[in-house]
Structure formats: structure tokens, C-alpha cells
Structure 1
Amino acid sequence: MNDANNVCESSRLKSIAALGQQIWLDNLSRELLDSGELSRWISDDGIAGVTSNPAIFYNAIRTDPAYQAALPALRAAHADAETCFEALVLPDIQRACDLLAPLYSSSQGVAGFVSFEVSPNLAHDVVGTIISAQRLWKAIARPNVMIKIPATQAGIQALEEVIFAGINVNVTLIFSARQGRMVRAAHRRGLQRRIDASLPVDGIASVASVFISRIDAMVDMQLPDSAAMLRGKAAIAAAKIAYRDWQQDTQGAFAPLARAGAQPQLLLWASTGTKNPAYRDVMYVEDLIGNETVNTVPDATLAAFRDHGEARGTTLSDDVAAAESVLSELVAHGIDLEEVGAKLLITGLTQFEEAFVKLLALVE
């Protein structure tokens, strides 16, 4: 490394941690574990967590020889494809949890998590989601696993019950401010019920995963040429307002729970790889740095930031008034971000359902 650059590659990512934000990897495979690459990224780059989803596991199982070699015996041992899939990948979730266990311990349960998702087929099933979350929590049996639940109406109802049960939750597919408010309220209700029942609230972690790049992709298509200056700005502006609202909630409605020992539900930025090649490939990392937040990034974005990303400071708190102005201009051009979010939720659910169907067919 040329000393003139004054920044070594790994410290580009570690400099984000110094600003109070965790970087999680949006990928997991047996190859990442067996090769030692995930372990190196944890050590060298400060990766503080891992997320997974059906699309990630579909690609991993399709391309990873270790999975393909293990499948015949598992097919013979398990009658249905979903059970076979879990038998194949849950040991890798456990291994990743174990790799991150020292960080989980040293951070006192604030970092070092690995996420695994309930079946996408349960997106509108409250009881099924609760039962699945409890089953997966017991099967994985690691204190630093997070069970992923989508922020549908049913998922948000289930969130309250799952938090009340003392299970860590990653609430995923959040696209709108309204979803965010509902998720935070359900999280608080679950914790308050534990307090009312004289149950401990310490050690129960949760993140609210707000999807970023998909918002810009849809808004950009809807903007007329006369509003071209707004393209690529909607998602970051909305995230800055979400962060401000989260800070206000943490200092306000959540404060009594914090005094009882509860951890706030952290904001997590998901879908942070840029979809438009005209945009800077690390913009959704550089412009979304904030204390007590998480950014989960795919391999390509991780490599890009390692190469040329800049941690310029807590950018989430910069130019909030300008972010409000962007949102006002979007309204003036007929863009309703709540409507955009509702459409993106439907699209996201469909994509995960389709990936899950393909995944089970591959396993079967």
C-alpha cells in the first residue's frame, strides 16, 4: 500500500466502526466459512454481523460444491425439501454465530449477530410466523442469532409476540416511514409486556431493516425529466429523516424501557448496493453513516468500499433540512413514498417467495 494514500484498505471499513456504525455482510455460504474468508473479514475489516435470505442461499447452494456434496444424504434423511434445506444450512448459521461470538460477548450483546429468515410463505401468517421463529430460535440455539421476520401487517403483529418470547428479531423489508413507526411500536409493546410480567428485557436485540436502493430505483422511474436533479436522492433523504425520527423515539418513547435495561431496536440499512451504474458504487454506505446503526452490504459493495470508500463522518446527521426539502419536492412532483413503499413491499415479498420456491426445488 502506498503510504501517500494514508489509509490501508482494511481500515477504510474499520473507520466506519469508529463512527459508531456496524458493517454486516449480506452473504453467507459454506465456502465463505470453510475458506476462512469470513473469519478474515471479521478480523481485518471489522465485519460485525451476517445476514442471509432465500436468494443468498439459492445462489450458494447452486454454486457451492460443499452444499451439493452434502445434499444426497440429506435428501435421503428428510422427507420434505424445507426440512432438508434447514438441515443443510442451519449448521452454517451456527458456525457463523460462533465466529462472531467473541464480538457479541465483548460488545455486551450489541453486535455480532447472524440473521436467518422464517419461510417467506408465512409473510401473512401471524401464528405460523411466531411458531417458526420459536422453532428456529431453539434449533439454532445461539444467543447471537436473529430471526428475520418481514414487516407485513402479520409480521409486525408477530414481532410483538416474538420479542415478548425473548427472541432476537431482524425485521426486514421496511420501505416506508409508516412501516418503521409500526415496527418500533410493536417492538416496544413486546418489551413492555415482559416488564409487566416481571421478565428481564436485557439481552433481547432487534434491528429494523430499511431497504434503500430499491426506493431510488422506483422513484427515479417515476420522476419526469424536469425533476432529473432529484434522481438518486429519495432513499438517502428518507433514511436521514428515519434516523432523526429513530433518535427522537429512542430519547422519548423508548426511554422508560431503556431505564429497565432494554436495548433500542437499531436501524439497519439493507439493499445498499447501487442498482444504477451511473451512481457512485458506495454512495449508500458513505452517505448513511450514523451512530448506533447498521449497514449490511453485499460482497461487491464491501470490496468497493475497501478499495475507495470514504468514511467522511456521521453523514446521516448532515443536511437534514436538505433531506426534508427533497421529500417535499418529491411530493410536489406527485411522488408518494408511502405508496412507493407499499408497492416495493409486495415486490420484495414476491421476489423472496420466488427465490424460496427455486431454492426448495434445487434442494429437492
Structure 2
Amino acid sequence: MNHIDTLFELGTSTWLDDLSRERITSGNLAEVIKNKSIVGVTTNPVIFASAMSKGTSYDEQIATLKEARTEVDEAVYAMTIDDVRDACDAFAEIFEKTNGKDGRVSIEVDPRISADRDATLAQAKDLWAKVDRPNVMIKIPATDGSLPAISDALAEGISVNVTLIFSVDRYQQVIDAFKEGIQRAEKAGKDVSTIHSVASFFVSRMDTEVDKRLEAIGTDEALALRGKAGVANARLAYALFKEVGSEGLPAGAPVQRPLWASTGVKNPDYPATLYVTELAGPDTVNTMPEGTLDAVLEQGGLHGNTLDGTKEDAQQVFDSLRGAGIDVEDVVRTLETEGVDKFVAAWSELLESMGQRLK
């Protein structure tokens, strides 16, 4: 038993927030699964941009794609799909043992089409077909334009990781979109027991943005609230999940688990395990960068279920933030815009650098 196993007993599955071909081919991914008890992987454009800019692992495939005169978008997705498929195979045993709950690997749609419902659905279907593994999850952002595509994809029987959630209000929309999709899938005759979904709620970015504003206000009241918004926001989301997450689901349909994303602390003054120890509880996932994963393995610090029964205190934190002068709604708008922009920038940079290598 290690601390990640203990976290699993509390109800939180640990997924690694990183993937590269080097991890797969070197045996590192298999080693991390065995020795660090991870039961899934998430990816995003930033992760793949970093992976493909280092080392020589992709050189052989790039040469093949270059010879075939493959368009750059198609080439990048060909490489990411291969990585995700191989990672799915590495997690196949866990997927079977957990009846599809874990053993999941996520791949994201092009962030540049997040405002286009039809394009998002079309790419989700294409990625689902090309990865061709039952344990893949297609990541779709929780933007106004993509919310309907989340329902559409689920209705098609596609498992979805809904990403870039920053507020409880948005999370309610995600829950509604999830339920609509599952209900449509049942009406279409799909086996809803095989359709899984997670809702990725971003944690540390909330603290980063709110702390910056608290420091600009500068009062003792404001400064005392630093480092509290991220955990409180996630706990309010969990309270909503407990209240309505399973209502109206067809028989046999799995609930859409909350997933804590962006769990590496950005402020070195905060404990490296802050967004793990304070967000442990039933029916959740925590996707961690390896630095956070190692900190939990080394330091532990778990102190039981830290989610149930926390709604009142979490709401008090947000009441105090508003009282101190924080415009919470503006914080959320800023984070959502920056979240999409960050992924678009990483994807565009990757396409540009890969385009040069394919010429």
C-alpha cells in the first residue's frame, strides 16, 4: 500500500496528467502504472506540444509522414492518436478490472473549433473511430459553443472528458449536457453502461487568478483569503454533484465523476499536495502532473474524506471573497478565455514547428 492506494480507497482515482512516446516506448508508463498506482492518463495540446518538441521518439514517424506529403494537422493527429492508442493498451487490464471506470486515456479535440458544435462533434467521432479503443475518452471543452457537442457525442456512445470547467454554474450546465446525452443514447438503443464521462474542474488556476486580485486589493481581510478559492470552488462543485449528479440517469448508466485538474500548485508557499489531500473523496478523479504524484507518494498527508460535509465552509469562503471585493464572475470569464487561448496557442505552436519539420 502506498499513499495513492490509500487515496483510491477513499474513492479518488489517480490519473497521470502527462503522456509522450518516450514514456511509452521506454517502459516508463508501464513502470509508473505498476509502482505509482496510477489508473489513467490525461493529455492536452500543451502536453503533446512539449512531448513532440523533445528527443527523437517521433523522428521515424515524421519521416514517413513527410514522404507521404501529409498535411500538418493530419500528421500531428496521426502521432497523438498512435500514442493514445498505445497508452490505452497499457491500461487495458485496469479498464477491464474496473468495468470501464478507470484505465482511461483522454485525447482532446482541436481547441480552435471550441465554438463550433458541428465541427467538434465531427472530430470527436473521428478521434473515437481512429483510436479504436473502448477505454479512450474524448476531451471536449465546456464552452458555450461546445456544450451541445458534449451531449451529441455522448448520444453517439462516445465517452467524454469535459474539460476547462471553472465555475459551479458552468458545471451545472455540464451536468445537464451529460444527462441529456445519456438519455438520448438510451433512446437510441445504446448500452449506456459502457458510456463513461468525467467533468474536469480546474483548481490551481482559480487560486492563481484570485490570489493576484487579493494581493492587488491588499487589505488584511483580502490577504487572509489567499490560497482558499481553488479548494472551496471544487468543494462546491462536489456538493452539487452529490445533490444532483445521479438524478434522472437511465438504469445502469455510470455517474459523471468530478475530476480535479490543474492540481500542481503554482505558488511554492502552498503544500505540494494541497489539491490532493483537501479534495479526497468518493466518486472522484485527480489527474496529477508527475511532480504532484511524487509529492503525494513521498509526503502523504491524507486525512480521510475531505469533500463530504464541506459545502457550508466552502460557501463562506466565496462569500468572504465577494465581501473583500473579488468579482468572482469576472474571474471565471477570465479563466475560461485564458484556458482556451492557452490550448490554442500551444496547438498553433505545435503545428508551426511540425510544419517546418515536414517541409
Q: What percentage of residue pairs aligned between the two structures are identical? A: 40
C-alpha distance 78-22 of structure 1, shift in aligned 2 (>3 A): farther
Question: 249, 257, 260: which one pairs with 1:257?
Answer: 249
Secondary structure of 2:224's counterpart equals helix
Offset at residue 225 of structure 1 (A): 2.3
1:338, distance to aligned residue in structure 2 (A): 2.7
Query: Within 5 A, what are the aligned runs for 1:35-114?
Result: 35-114=26-105
**Alpha-carbon distance between aligned partners in 2 of 1:271 and 1:153, rounded to the nearest angstrom:** 21
Q: Does 2:240 correspond to 1:245? A: yes
Q: In structure 1, how many angstroms separate the alpha carbons of the residues matched to 2:55 and 2:194?
A: 35
Report if aligned partners of 1:270, 1:295 keep a CA contact under 8 Å in 2: yes
- By how many angstroms is 1:119 displaced? 0.6
Q: Matched residue of 2:269: which SS?
A: coil
My pick for the range that moved more, 135-144 or 66-75, is 66-75
> RMSD in angstroms over aligned alpha carbons?
1.3
Q: 2:344 aligns with which of 333, 344, 353?
A: 353
Gaps of at least 5 residues in structure 2 are none
Q: Distance in 2 between matches of 1:333 and 1:177?
A: 20
Query: Aligned runs of 1:219-298 on 2, under 5 Å?
Result: 219-223=210-214, 224-226=217-219, 227-250=222-245, 254-258=246-250, 260-298=251-289
State which of 145, 156, 181 in structure 2 corresponds to 1:154. 145
What is the number of equivalent residue pairs in this alignment? 351
TM-fit CA distance, 1:64 = 2.8
Of residues 143, 167, 188, the one that matches 1:176 is 167
Structure 1 counterpart of 2:67, one-letter code: A
Q: CA deviation at 1:78?
A: 4.2
C-alpha displacement of 1:308:
1.2
TM-score, length-normalised on structure 1?
A: 0.93
1:25 aligns with 2:20: no
| Mapped contact 2:179–2:248 kept (Cα < 8 A) | no
Residue matched to 1:5: none
1:343-362 deviation line (CA, Å, top 9, x unaligned): 10100111100100111112
The answer (yes or no) to whether the contact 1:268–1:296 under 8 Å persists in 2 is: yes
Deviation (angstroms), 1:146 = 0.3
What's the CA shift for 1:318?
A: 5.2
Using a 3 Å threshold, how does the CA distance of structure 1 residues 111 and 74 change in structure 2: closer, same or farther?
A: same
Residues 1:305 and 2:296 are matched in the alignment: yes
Residue pair 1:286, 1:310 contacting (<8 A) in 2 also:
yes
> Does residue 1:336 correspond to 2:331, yes or no?
no
